[in-house]
Amino acid sequence: MKKTLMVSLLVLACASFAAHAQDAGNGSSSSDSSSSSNSNNGGWTGSGEFGYASATGNTRSQNVNAKLGLNQENEQWKNNFFLDVLRTKVQEKVVTPAGNTIDQFDTTANRYDGGASVGYKLDPRSYIVGAARYDHDDFGANLWQGVVSLGYGYIAVKDARNELSFEIGPGYKEYRPAELPILVNGVTVNQTQPVEHEAIARGLVNYKLRITDNTSFEDTFLTEAGSKDTYIQNDAGLAVSMTKKLALKVGFQVRHNSTVLPGIKKTDTLTTTNLVYNF
């Protein structure tokens, strides 16, 4: 119930913030007849990524990863919304109670996460930012986690090739650690863990570099530090444009939890090669 409520609140917040920001953006653009097309739509840009791999024959597997991102930046707002999905299924040989060996598809990755950050600019470089994030991972250190925060952001560098920004502030985190396998009467069962709560300090560093006219690099570092657990995530990506709308992107993600249950690794990595559509 708590997870469902958190997701619902996040979706409603994103929709509300997006509508409010869009209205503000449209209002500012209507007063300037010489605004560019980017200004006319309130400063919105977006991209969708999709990657799929399938193997058949002696080995059978399916892997799907997809990402959707929306960004807005104008004189008043600096906003970001995202949704990521990862799912992997592989064929494994399983021995039945009768002693027969069969091929069975098992899910080995099932993760989705989404979030938003809404920044209100105090001047061209500094802004107040509110952020929310939720993710669910059947095979991660935490089964699910939700974070909300309020902080200060600063755009340190922004020119034709580089952009560097920082965000920092306090927040609140609620999460449920992964289920712990235990032996009960000779049978292994998954023991549900209690929900944890804690105050955190959130920090974000985002760097963008345009290497050439059709090649760009972006790195985003996120940390959510608490007394019980510190979560770190770094996303790096190199994109090569084929047309104005289409690009190929290679990405590398690292996710790390400082505190995990026995038998669970602290660090997960993900390497992707995706087709990107920019809009």
Q: Mean per-residue pLDDT for 61-86? A: 94
Report pLDDT for 153: 97
User: Does 33 have pLDDT greater than 80?
Assistant: no
- Check if the beta carbon of residue 105 is closer than 8 Å to that of residue 60: yes
**Separation in Å, CA 151 to CA 27, 35, 117, 172:** 26, 30, 10, 12
Segment 230-235 long-range contacts (CB within 8 Å, at least 24 positions apart): 230/257, 230/258, 230/259, 231/145, 231/173, 231/255, 231/256, 231/257, 231/258, 232/256
Question: pLDDT for 120-169, tens place per residue?
Answer: 999 999 999 999 999 999 988 999 999 999 999 999 999 999 999 999 99
**Separation in Å, CA 240 to CA 74, 120, 225, 246, 276:** 26, 31, 34, 9, 10
Element housing 261 (H / E): none
- Give the mean pLDDT of the chain: 85
| pLDDT tier for residue 28 given thresholds of 50, 70 and 90 | very low
Question: pLDDT for 79-114, tens place per residue?
Answer: 999 999 999 988 776 666 666 766 677 888 899 999
Domain ranges of the chain: 2-278
The more confidently predicted of residues 61 and 18 is: 61
Report pLDDT for 97: 67
Lowest mean pLDDT among 23-27, 42-46, 107-111: 23-27
Architecture of domain 2-278: Beta Barrel (2.40)
Give CA 154 to chain center in angstroms. Answer: 21
| pLDDT tier for residue 182 given thresholds of 50, 70 and 90 | confident
pTM: 0.81
Work out the angle at residue 233's Cα, subtended by the Cα atoms of residues 231 and 238, and round it to the nearest 5 degrees. 180
